[in-house]
Amino acid sequence: MYYYSTNGQSPKLDFRDATILGQAPDKGLYFPETIPQLDKDFFTRIAAYSREEIGMRVMAPYTGTTLPEDVLLGIVSETLDFPLPVVPVHDRISALELYHGPTLAFKDIGARFMSRCLGHFVKDRRGKVVVLVATSGDTGGAVANGFYQVPGVEVVILYPSGRVSAVQEQQLTTLGGNIRALEVTGTFDDCQQMVKTAFADTALTDRLFLTSANSINIARWLPQQLYYFLAWQQWQHKDNPPVISVPSGNFGNICAGMLAHLSGLPVTHFIAACNANDVVPRFMQKGQYEVQPAIATLSNAMDVGNPSNFIRILEMTGHDTGTLAAMMSSVSVSDTDTLSAITKVYAGEQYLLDPHGAVAYLALQDYLRQHTGTEGLFLATAHPVKFNTTVAEATGMTVPVPDAVKAIMAMPKQSTVIAPDYEALRAVLAD
């Protein structure tokens, strides 16, 4: 399998090289040359397969000859070694809970898969690979955890001081070892700018092998398909495939689900549920794609003004708005409605939503009301405890802290405070 750049100006690469590079040199995103087709039988008999078998079926065509079968099997089983349950919430709505991993967010799945792939690919290199990443909160923890103790890889994470939650900061700063946390006395945008400058600094990249672990990397994007297949395995009414609602920011998650569907996975319709950052909902309505500065909301992991993976969605629907609209709708949900959904669903069903899941829940409920006979799933992407303040405000109750989080909260924070300018970062990297 080869991957081409969506900008069409860079050479095609295999899974290994596209993973190591991350983004194509022409600034496009890598996209598979063909979409593998899984046979009908696989979907009707899916209950008989183990998670590992499903993982292998789905991922092997993408990794091709770059990963031996036993290596891929090891990576798949480590990626999926926590529960990913479909939980009924009421009548026609279930939650696919993706937050039972080590950092309590769905990003654990992509980060675990990618870290192990990269670890394998750089095993025989002399010298270390440095993974450089800026985070506004969730990505950093998942990346730190995923890459922790992966041989040959050093991780440097930049985060804005005082602007991530207490749990998130602990997840970033307490591991030590090959994980280095830089606490930048500026904003997330400063962090991102510093990272971009580092990648463009050829004097640095000549000496240091730098790569990124953001969500456009195919090794983070493609394995996100897996839980859509595992949801289908658990889906009760195989004669009535689910409408799937995905809380969306950078659109990597929903785009993976749509790719799974194009491989044959039965899905009735996709909903891209957004917060006030409504570039895509407006595009679907008016046909114009207008980038906007990100607006801060309660579902902050979705505060994205220019979703980087949307280009992949256009690519897989042949840049045809009719094809896209038949497969996916997109709506914007306000903070007020998000809060009241958390309140209502807790009062009515004793089910706790986090703000991201709540956005997807509301969008799904609305769609199902307008389409009789349909049933749906929404993706619960973060554990409610990660957004304790909001959840307490909406429900009047404090989420019990899981043991894993208690342990992290008690560990000493290790971070290096640096100024929000590139020279400060360069000094650390040169060291």
Contacts of ligand PLP in 348-377 (CB under 6 A)? 356
Task: Decide if residue 297 touches ligand PLP (CB under 6 A).
Answer: no
Q: Which is nearer to ligand PLP, 145 or 381 (CB)?
A: 381
Q: How far is the CB of 22 from ligand PLP (least distance, A)?
A: 16
Nearer to ligand PLP, 105 or 175 (CB): 105
CA–CA dist 358, 365 (Å, integer): 10
79 by Cβ neighbours in 10 Å (0-12 / 13-18 / 19+) ranks as buried
Determine how β-strand 93-97 pairs with β-strand 86-90: antiparallel
Mask for 298-317, x = binds ligand PLP (CB under 6 A): ---xx---------------
What 3-state class would DSSP assign to 96? strand
In the bound complex, what is the minimum distance in angstroms from residue 379's beta carbon to ligand PLP?
A: 8
Name residues contacting ligand PLP, limited to 391-420 (CB under 6 A). none
Distance between CA atoms of 265 and 35, rounded to whole angstroms? 12
CB atoms within 10 A of CB 204: 18
Q: What is the DSSP string of 251-307?
A: SHHHHHHHHHHHTT---SEEEEEE-S--HHHHHHHHS----------SSGGG--SS-
CB of 105 to ligand PLP, least distance (A): 5
Return the residues of window 196-215 that contact ligand PLP according to CB under 6 A: 215
Query: Exposed/middle/buried for 113, CB within 10 Å: 0-12, 13-18, 19+?
Result: buried
- Over the window 235 to 254, marking each residue x when it contacts ligand PLP by CB under 6 A and - when it does not, the resulting string is ------------xxxxxxx-
Residue 251: CB minimum distance to ligand PLP, A: 5
Nearer to ligand PLP, 76 or 360 (CB): 360
- Out of 92, 102, 135, 138, name the contact with ligand PLP by CB under 6 A: 138
Q: In whole angstroms, how close is the CB of 85 to ligand PLP at the nearest point?
A: 17
Least distance in angstroms from the C-beta of 277 to ligand PLP: 11
Q: Which of 235, 197, 209, 223 is CA-nearest to residue 86? A: 235
Task: Tell me the C-alpha distance between 85 and 105, whole Å.
Answer: 14
Q: How far is the CB of 68 from ligand PLP (least distance, A)?
A: 29
Strand order in the sheet with 93-97: 86-90, 93-97, 376-380, 243-247, 269-274, 328-332
**Interacting residues with ligand PLP between 103 and 122 (CB under 6 A):** 105, 107
Nearer to ligand PLP (CB atom), residue 113 or residue 251: 251
Cβ closer to ligand PLP: 109 or 122? 109
Beta strands per DSSP E along 30-101: 30-32, 86-90, 93-97
The least CB distance from residue 378 to ligand PLP, in Å, is: 11
Do the Cβ atoms of 213 and 189 come closer than 8 Å? no
Count of residues binding ligand PLP (CB under 6 A)? 16
Sign of the CA dihedral running 224, 229, 234, 239? positive
Strand 243-247 to 269-274 pairing: parallel
Distance CA 420, CA 417 (A): 10
Smallest distance, Å, CB 144 to ligand PLP? 14
Q: Which is nearer to ligand PLP, 231 or 302 (CB)?
A: 302
Residues lying near ligand PLP in the complex (CB under 6 A) are found at 105, 107, 138, 215, 247-253, 301-302, 356, 381-382
